[in-house]
Structure 1
Amino acid sequence: MFFVANQNRQYTVLADEDLMSLLEDGDAGAFAALYDRHSRAAYSLSYRMMGDRQAAEDLTQDAFLKVWRSAGGYRSERGSVRTWILSIVHNRGIDQLRSLASRRRTQDRVEQSAPRSQPSEAFAETWRNRQREQIREALDTLPAEQLKILELAYFSGYTHVEISNLLDIPLGTVKGRMRLGLKKIRDYFGQKDMAVPR
């Protein structure tokens, strides 16, 4: 019993990079220590992306399974272990959201082929589709670096600090690009004499 407790204490003093080295060799204790350190941040990002507790738990579990299987893929020169884990969560989340969107599109096509009983529903759907098109058009006018920041913040749920770490750019640059991007979108809608969609 003392040996196990002492061994667990040993993992807690190791740096993330050292735990990753152990994890490459299949060390379950190193995996548990990494999970203890980073699962809350991973769940928080999962929840922001998925918007549902159960989906966030599933995404977190899926991401850590990928961490276990892909420990050899971690490269310290590309960023911290935490950033690597959060990027796995983000990528797995994007995959899941795309899959959900694909299923929704299929469902929408089926529903659209069915006769509509309420003309007001058809009008509301047309209005929503037009707003989506307008937002897409506005986003297409942005420079790539501003677009990337807005996508990470608004579509992927990253904070300014997380974006700064992920893209390896200063926090002030992240905030500046976000401000410029949002101003350009407002100006775009102002020039076209349209209200900014909410």
Structure 2
Amino acid sequence: MEDNEVRERIRAGDREAFGDLYDRYARTVHQHAARLTGDLSAAEDVMSETFLAAWRTREQVRAEGGPLGPWLLGIATNKARNHRRGVGRRLAFLARQPRPEETADFAEASAERLDHQRELAAVRAVLDRLRGPEREVLALCVWAGLDYAQTADALGVPVGTVRSRLSRARKRLRALTGERLAQEAREAREAQETREPGRGRGEVGGRAAIVALPSERGSR
């Protein structure tokens, strides 16, 4: 279907058209939410809230325009923003609750999910140090693949604002990534030094130890 036809059907409350919209963009919305929240469970909530809000506000869709992906990602950005604002209150509440009983760990079934969680945590460790607007523009332009105009439409800001935020975000992200890599390298060296036992008196190490070994010919 043409974009304008999709918009018309969505505006009219066509459930089949909305189902097609979900099938087309659900994965994109979930990935975008995961990058902004750093949490797969939260991303699922954000995705659900995004499509629910999209259905409720479908009459606000403009009759003419391009694909509805930027519209959905704009809603998802707002939902993820609300999630981040409320996460502190949720963590405080959970901290007051008794610790739940441990359950069985199905390692094989959850291995892929845990790996993804670790990847998200590593990314978020740097992204969290960006300002919220810069992080959102980076996620929309770089990861979601929207152009400046689509990102501006999704966030409700001028195109010039998108350009300046993206430029600042890229510079800041490069600097933060460099700092983190340097820190990880230092920690790795310190851990290695801690694990290595000290050499005893007279013990030869490194290249000298290899040179001191008898040759195959000399040992016969």
TM-score category of the 2 structures, normalised to the smaller one: 0.5 to 0.7
C-alpha change, 1:166 and 1:78, in structure 2 (3 Å) is farther
SS at match of 1:158: helix
Higher RCO (CA-CA < 8 Å; seq separation 6+): 2
**Bigger mean CA deviation after superposition, 72-81 or 94-103:** 72-81
Instruction: Give 1:179 shift.
Output: 4.8
Please give the TM-score of this superposition, normalised by the length of structure 2.
0.48
1:16–1:34 contact (8 Å) kept in structure 2:
no
* SS at structure 2 position matched to 1:55: helix
Equivalent position of 1:6 in the other structure: none
Aligned twin of 1:152: 136
Measured against aligned partners, the alpha-carbon deviations of 1:94-144 in whole angstroms (never above 9, x if no partner) come to 112211133446778x8xxxxxxxxxxxxxxxxxxxxxxxx79xx7xxxxx
* Gapped regions of structure 1 (runs ≥ 5): 1-13, 111-134, 140-146, 187-196
User: Percent of aligned positions with the same letter in both sequences?
Assistant: 25
Look up the match of 2:195: none
Question: Which of 15, 23, 40 is matched with 2:10 structurally?
Answer: 23
Question: Is it true that 1:167 corresponds to 2:149 in the alignment?
Answer: no
Change beyond 3 A, Cα 1:172–1:88: closer
Corresponding residue number in structure 2 for 1:100: 87
Superposition deviation, residue 51 in structure 1: 2.1
In 1, distance between residues paired with 2:14 and 2:25? 17
1:76–1:50 distance in 2 versus 1, CA, 3 Å: farther
- Call closer, same or farther: CA 1:181–1:56 in 2, change over 3 Å: closer
Higher CA-based Rg: 2
In the other structure, the counterpart of 1:84 is 71
Which residue of the partner structure matches residue 58 of structure 2?
71
Tell which deviates more after alignment, 73-82 or 44-53: 73-82
Give the number of aligned pairs: 138
CA contact 1:152–1:163 (8 Å) conserved in 2: no
Q: Deviations over 1:22-72 (max 9, x none)?
A: 122221101011111111110110111222222212211111111111111
CA distance, structure 2, for counterparts of residue 40 and residue 182 of structure 1: 25
Q: 1:33 to 1:175 in 2, by over 3 A?
A: same
| More deviation, 31-40/95-104 | 95-104
State the distance in 2 between where 1:159 and 1:56 align.
19
Contact 1:20 1:30 (8 Å CA) reproduced: no
Change (3 A) 1:21 1:52: same
Asked if the contact 2:141/2:151 (under 8 Å) is kept, the reply is no
Q: Which has the higher helix share?
A: 1
Q: 1:77 & 1:177 partners in 2: Cα distance? A: 33
User: Residues 47 and 76 (structure 1 numbering): CA distance in 2 closer, same or farther, change over 3 Å?
Assistant: farther
| 1:90 positional shift | 0.7
Q: Is the 8 A contact 1:43 1:56 kept in 2?
A: yes
- For the 8 Å contact 1:46–1:90, the answer to whether it is kept is yes
Asked if structure 2 preserves the Cα contact closer than 8 Å seen for 1:163 and 1:174, the reply is no
Structure 2 unaligned runs (5+)?
Answer: 97-128, 154-158, 177-182, 185-220
- In 1, the alpha carbon distance for the partners of 2:146 and 2:81 equals 16
Contact 1:83/1:166 (8 A) holds in 2: yes
d(CA) in 1 for partners of 2:71, 2:167: 25
